[in-house]
Chain A
Amino acid sequence: MSAPVLFVGLPVFAALIIYLFRRSPRLSAVLAAALSLLLAICARTLLLDEPINLLGGLIIRSSSVILGRTFAVEPINRLGLVFIFAQAAGLFLSALLVQPGRFYLSGGMAILGLLAAALFVQPFLFAALFLELAAALAVFMLVSESGETPQATRGALRFLVCMTLGLPLILVTGWLLEAGAASPGDESFTLQAVVLLNLGFAVLLAVLPFHSWLPIVAEQAPPLATAFVLTVMQFASVFLLLTFLNAYEWLGQNPAVYRALTLVGGAMVFAGALFAFGQRNFGRSLGYAIMVDIGAILLAVGLGTQAGVAAALAALVLRGLALIFWAVGLTHLRRVAGGDDFDSLRGLGRRHPLAVAGVILGFLSLVGFPSTAGFPARWSLLILLAQIHPTAAILLWLGMVSISLVCARGLMALLTPMESQTETVNAEAPAFSLKRLASLSVYGLSLALLFSLGFFPQWLLQPAAQAASTFLHLGQ
């Protein structure tokens, strides 16, 4: 048996089983979450290429060859795998609280297998093919089957188009780099490769002007599916970028690359903050908040230090936690109000306090508000930036303020009842039920986790620093 088969084949096979169990949403959610968690634990602890006594001396090989291509589990991508599977487990478990759509669990599992393949394939440039396959599968999750208008498919289509545009750019870059290595005197290959590589990652990471799908998807797609794409899939793209920089020393140690990342990151933060400022819709606001977050991650990588990479990875992992809250809360509010603009949600804060707390705290954690889980990573990034690029630190701080203001406006709307609602609040108080108690417990435990990570960040920052330390050749 080989590890790539375990991490790629098992999720894809499980996707089929979970699809068959789609009529039992709780069972399939638990199955998907348990398998993802198990694979996360395996990715962290499994002994490779050595006999495992617990399994009767079974040896699990770290690589296998399929159709002439090698798929290998390297130490550099094991922690990435842990993060991806652990985040997915949380997202799948959230499906117990809300109805995420027919393809969410099965599609998500299949995507996990493809993302694992993207991490393992050698040469790793072919990862772009697996990312594209994953993106095409994600389309099934991103569109709501009960869409009331034809426009409901717009976000998913734009996402697919953008991801497809990135595929040729990354693949051709790989060929150009190989051609450049074969003829060292000819710099034209290298120049073309750098241009295409920048473009390719700009498309994959939804960098301006390829960001247009972000607010549309966040507004129209089922929130849990949005959260899955923006955490699990984006994590794989950022990991691919880091692997690229690490694999080619001339690229990973080129100051111009880091300057470009800082510039692009700053532009993303600025644009996200600017676009978010006037928003009156929780979905679209999240799209722009993610732009700020992507900008922050690029700024962190642009620092060209291990600490910067650790801050970027920690931010990505914490984004997952924040988006779970946002998604669960918003799905609930959308079902009640039929939309997610501030006006249609007015006054729901009193009747659905847990859902509202989820949305607002998810937002605040994403922004890096003090005492939430997102704060330590954002704070460490701000400190690092202040030492090297003070302007970028100020820009990021302004971005955080802009998103926080939108969040405050949303909260005001949620807490301000419409005149007709004031008298019916008490009458509509839901009766006690076992389901409500379970829901309360899950929300309560999750909120405790959100704040705990804010106060004890070392639980997460240490693994992030460990993951960052595997990128040995990265830095100016």
Chain B
Amino acid sequence: MSASLSSLVTPALIGLLITAAFLVIVNDWRLGFVALAAQYLLAAVLIAQIAVWQVVVVKILAGLLSVGILYLTGAEVHFGRKVEQPIPEGLAPAATRFSALFEFPTGLPFRVLAVLMVSLAAWNIATQSHFVLQGIPSWLNVAGYLLIALSLLNLGLTEEPMNAGLGLLTLLTGFGIFYTAVEPSLAVVALLAAVDFVIALAVGYLAYLHYAAAEKEASR
């Protein structure tokens, strides 16, 4: 492991925490796609410490491909926003414009609080000897537990296909960080990449039908 890469461990860990938390707190698909893409890159930084570069490249490509699929689906259905929702012109105050441009869920303080609590719990569990996966660097345990815990929180808070899909992909990223450390074979990496890809396709399909039905319902 080169010194420059190892110095990136802590920033990558913090970045993963921020992106996973962001996916729970913010419902806007476009911001979610950016956060997920960043998450794949940051996870790749961690994986690069323990795996060969080919594995890292496969992980990055599969991740970005999944984000691409979700982005294309999102673009088809106006990123989950109602078509008639107007974007205010220049006269509107900045805060109003921002909230109209991006979508924030109701219960924002609750989500922030839940993210804080779950992150602390995950961090605590990741440092308990009974719960860590032995033989794996501690920062990998922390990263895996954080991503998995926050993705479970995300899945618990939404039944909307796209946001749930972002949660599922976060879950798999967290697991992938663990699992690459214990099973770095190319076959498994390729299969996990295929799982990411097919889940992104399935989520995209569900999101598309969900919003097509919502539009149909609204037009009745």
Seen from chain A, the residues whose Cβ lies within 8 Å of a Cβ on chain B are: 66-69, 126, 129-130, 132-133, 136-137, 139-140, 143, 145, 147-150, 152-154, 156-157, 160-161, 164-165, 167-168, 171-172, 175, 179, 188-189
Known interface pairs A136-B198, A150-B217; A168-B179 also in contact (CB < 8 Å): yes
Cα(A149)–Cα(B159), bound, Å? 14
Tell me which residues from 39 to 55 in chain B have a Cβ below 8 Å from any Cβ of chain A: none
Whether B187 pairs with A136 at a CB distance below 8 angstroms is no
Whether A67 pairs with B210 at a CB distance below 8 angstroms is no
Residues of B within 8 A of A165 (CB): 171
Q: What are 25 A-B pairs with beta-carbon distances under 8 A?
A: A67-B187, A67-B190, A68-B185, A69-B187, A126-B191, A129-B188, A133-B194, A137-B202, A139-B206, A140-B205, A143-B206, A147-B213, A148-B216, A150-B214, A150-B217, A152-B213, A153-B209, A153-B213, A157-B206, A167-B195, A168-B148, A168-B175, A168-B179, A179-B135, A188-B134
B22: min CB distance to chain A, Å: 20
B213 CB contact (under 8 Å) in A129, A150, A157, A164: A150
A139 CB contact (under 8 Å) in B159, B188, B205, B217: B205
Whether A126 pairs with B188 at a CB distance below 8 angstroms is yes
Residues of B within 8 A of A136 (CB): 195, 198-199, 201-202
Seen from chain B, the residues whose Cβ lies within 8 Å of a Cβ on chain A are: 130, 133-135, 148, 155, 159, 161, 164, 168, 171-172, 175, 178-179, 182-183, 185-188, 190-192, 194-195, 198-199, 201-203, 205-206, 209-211, 213-214, 216-217
Most A-side CB within 10 Å, residue of B192, B205, B211 = B205
Besides A152-B213, A164-B172, A167-B172, 11 other CB < 8 A contacts?
A69-B185, A129-B192, A136-B198, A152-B210, A157-B164, A161-B164, A171-B183, A172-B179, A175-B179, A175-B182, A189-B134
Chain A, Cβ-Cβ closest to B201: A136
Residues of B within 8 A of A160 (CB): 168, 199, 202-203, 206
Whether A171 pairs with B179 at a CB distance below 8 angstroms is yes
Known interface pairs A136-B198, A136-B199; A148-B179 also in contact (CB < 8 Å): no
Known interface pairs A175-B182, A175-B183; A139-B214 also in contact (CB < 8 Å): no
Whether A132 pairs with B209 at a CB distance below 8 angstroms is no
A179 CB contact (under 8 Å) in B134, B190, B199: B134
Cα(A55)–Cα(B22), bound, Å? 60
Residues of B within 8 A of A133 (CB): 191, 194-195, 198
Residues of A within 8 A of B199 (CB): 136, 160, 164
Cα(A385)–Cα(B134), bound, Å? 41
A7: min CB distance to chain B, Å: 18
Known interface pairs A139-B206, A145-B209, A150-B213; A66-B182 also in contact (CB < 8 Å): no
Cα(A53)–Cα(B11), bound, Å? 65
Cα(A139)–Cα(B161), bound, Å? 12
Whether B206 pairs with A129 at a CB distance below 8 angstroms is no
Residues of B within 8 A of A137 (CB): 198, 202
Cα(A147)–Cα(B211), bound, Å? 11
Residues of A within 8 A of B130 (CB): 188
Whether A68 pairs with B186 at a CB distance below 8 angstroms is yes
- The DSSP consensus for interface residues of chain A is helix
Whether A167 pairs with B217 at a CB distance below 8 angstroms is no
Known interface pairs A136-B199, A164-B172; A143-B178 also in contact (CB < 8 Å): no
B122: min CB distance to chain A, Å: 15
A334: min CB distance to chain B, Å: 17
Cα(A130)–Cα(B205), bound, Å? 20
Chain A, Cβ-Cβ closest to B198: A136
Residues of A within 8 A of B171 (CB): 164-165, 168
Cα(A189)–Cα(B164), bound, Å? 32
Whether B161 pairs with A157 at a CB distance below 8 angstroms is yes
Whether A164 pairs with B198 at a CB distance below 8 angstroms is no
A148 CB contact (under 8 Å) in B159, B164, B198, B217: B217
Cα(A139)–Cα(B214), bound, Å? 19
Whether B161 pairs with A153 at a CB distance below 8 angstroms is yes
Known interface pairs A150-B213, A154-B159, A164-B168; A132-B179 also in contact (CB < 8 Å): no
Whether B209 pairs with A129 at a CB distance below 8 angstroms is no
Cα(A129)–Cα(B198), bound, Å? 12
Cα(A438)–Cα(B143), bound, Å? 60
B216: min CB distance to chain A, Å: 7
A65: min CB distance to chain B, Å: 10
Cα(A165)–Cα(B175), bound, Å? 10
B186 CB contact (under 8 Å) in A67, A132, A157: A67
Residues of A within 8 A of B183 (CB): 171, 175
Residues of B within 8 A of A168 (CB): 148, 171-172, 175, 178-179
Most B-side CB within 10 Å, residue of A133, A136, A168, A189 = A136
Known interface pairs A133-B195, A154-B159, A157-B164; A68-B187 also in contact (CB < 8 Å): yes
Residues of A within 8 A of B205 (CB): 139-140, 143
Cα(A189)–Cα(B133), bound, Å? 9
Cα(A160)–Cα(B169), bound, Å? 12
A14: min CB distance to chain B, Å: 18
Known interface pairs A148-B213, A161-B168; A172-B188 also in contact (CB < 8 Å): no
Cα(A172)–Cα(B192), bound, Å? 13
Whether B210 pairs with A150 at a CB distance below 8 angstroms is yes
B4: min CB distance to chain A, Å: 30
Cα(A433)–Cα(B13), bound, Å? 69
Residues of A within 8 A of B159 (CB): 154, 157
Cα(A165)–Cα(B211), bound, Å? 25
Chain A, Cβ-Cβ closest to B202: A139
